[in-house]
Structure 1
Amino acid sequence: MKLVLAFHGTRDPRGIAVCAEIASLVRACVDVPVEVAYADVCSPDVRSVVDGPYVVVPVFLAAGYHVRVDIPEQIGGRAGVVLTPPVGLDVVPAVRDRLVEAGFRRGDAVVLAAAGSSDARALATVRRAAEMLGAGAVGYVATASPRIGDVVAGMSGRVAVASWLLAPGVFQGVLDRCGADVVAQPVGAHPVLVDVVVRRYYEALAGLVRTA
């Protein structure tokens, strides 16, 4: 079965480049066509890409509105299409690596920074990611509170911000200016994320085999 990587979508060319890089790395791991689609903002959307038997992997860090509503609606009940869970919490090790790469030191106060969501379940995922990372606080760029700048300003000592974002863009720019001593880069095309996407694909195929 073909594989579709469903991303959020962005107008920032750096974000589009990250999506393309992730797709390229995934293609090197699977012997099937791999296509890119977007849930919002840019095209092609999932609806226009899924035209036959596909496994659709949402490359999202949490299962918010786009994962729970938009992508299933765009798939529209097409026969032979399998929608997997998002990459989600399985990429926390990649977030940890990015934090270390940015200069994290033992003893730093760690804050996990996320875009935010109006979906309570997505916010719960962020909090769980913070626990897994060992972060002492969570801050948001938009849609939820407390805002990352306020969280950083209220902390003492050296502060390190871990980025719960997939790609560079406006939101990462807010983190870069939040006043922390260390700001990690987004997950990007980290090998852990690529491995999770590939695993989601093969898990979907295994499920099809078991139920056939």
Structure 2
Amino acid sequence: MRTTATVTTPLLLVAHGTRNPCGPREIDRIAQAARQVLDVPVHVAYVDVIGPTVGEALRAIGGPAVVLPAFLAAGYHVRTDLPAQLGPDAEVAVCPPLGPAPELAEAMLDRLRDAGWRRGDRVLFSAAGSSDARALDDVRTAARLLGRRCGQRLRPSYVTTARPLTAELCGDGVRAFVAPYLLAPGLFHRTLAELPVAGVAEPIGAHPRVVELVARRYRNALERDVDAA
């Protein structure tokens, strides 16, 4: 069921979930910042590992909502898991996932600069990894977006699952910085931090450009819903 959305429709950010407390804290920071920008209630739910679940969050909202998958690619959780958890009768307008998007590339460039990267230094674009072909396509798009901004062609690499592994591209004597295509800190970022490189940027996190992207996704979902009504 579609929702007849209004400018006060709550936003539900849906993330993967992790037992590492750093991850939920970062999602909460994004939610808090989006709440200030949009001036609407912003809730958080998780598709796996921890709660609240999507169903629990929607019951707490008790009405129409805009659902934004806080994922950087349209993999299994976005295309299969989340729709299954929403069910056919949920009064929701579902946004595309956060990534790939130009705002994320701009946030990653800022993170690289903060880590000490300068023009001429090699960039290693590193994503979590997936066996889903569509998700890998999204990662390639994200790498192209960042590559245009840092002046070099970037070949995606991965922490795990897909190839090449980021670890396989390190240690050749070239001054390199890792650009993590990760939304929040956790095990994957800790793994990257141990690599023999000049620096590892922080995860994308609650960067102002990410908050702008969340607001854009939300407003576009409302516009689509009104147009379809």
Say if 1:26 and 1:197, in contact at 8 Å, map to a contact too.
yes
Instruction: Please identify runs of 4+ aligned residues in structure 1 that moved more than 6 A.
Output: none
Between the aligned partners of 1:16 and 1:165, the Cα distance in structure 2 is 13
Say if 1:109 and 1:136, in contact at 8 Å, map to a contact too.
no
Q: Please list, as runs of the form range in 1=range in 2, the aligned pairs for 1:156-171 lying within 5 A after superposition.
A: 156-171=173-188
- Return the match for 1:131 from 144, 159, 168: 144
Question: 1:79–1:20: structure 2 CA closer, same or farther, 3 Å change rule?
Answer: closer
RMSD: 1.2
Say if 1:152 and 1:180, in contact at 8 Å, map to a contact too.
yes
Q: TM-score of the superposition, structure 2-length normalised? A: 0.88
Q: Please list, as runs of the form range in 1=range in 2, the aligned pairs for 1:190-205 lying within 5 A after superposition.
A: 190-205=207-222
Q: Please list, as runs of the form range in 1=range in 2, the aligned pairs for 1:200-211 lying within 5 A after superposition.
A: 200-211=217-228
Deviation at 1:78, TM superposition (A): 2.2
Unaligned runs of 5+ in 2: 1-8, 148-152
Deviation at 1:106, TM superposition (A): 1.4
Higher relative contact order (CA 8 A, sep 6+): 2
Identity among equivalent pairs (%) = 49
Deviation at 1:137, TM superposition (A): 2.8
How many residues align structurally?
211
Say if 1:137 and 1:151, in contact at 8 Å, map to a contact too.
no
Q: TM-score of the superposition, structure 1-length normalised? A: 0.95
SS at match of 2:43: strand
Q: Please list, as runs of the form range in 1=range in 2, the aligned pairs for 1:58-207 lying within 5 A after superposition.
A: 58-90=69-101, 91-134=104-147, 135-153=153-171, 155-207=172-224
Question: 1:156–1:137: structure 2 CA closer, same or farther, 3 Å change rule?
Answer: farther
Say if 1:55 and 1:82, in contact at 8 Å, map to a contact too.
yes
Unaligned runs of 5+ in 1: none
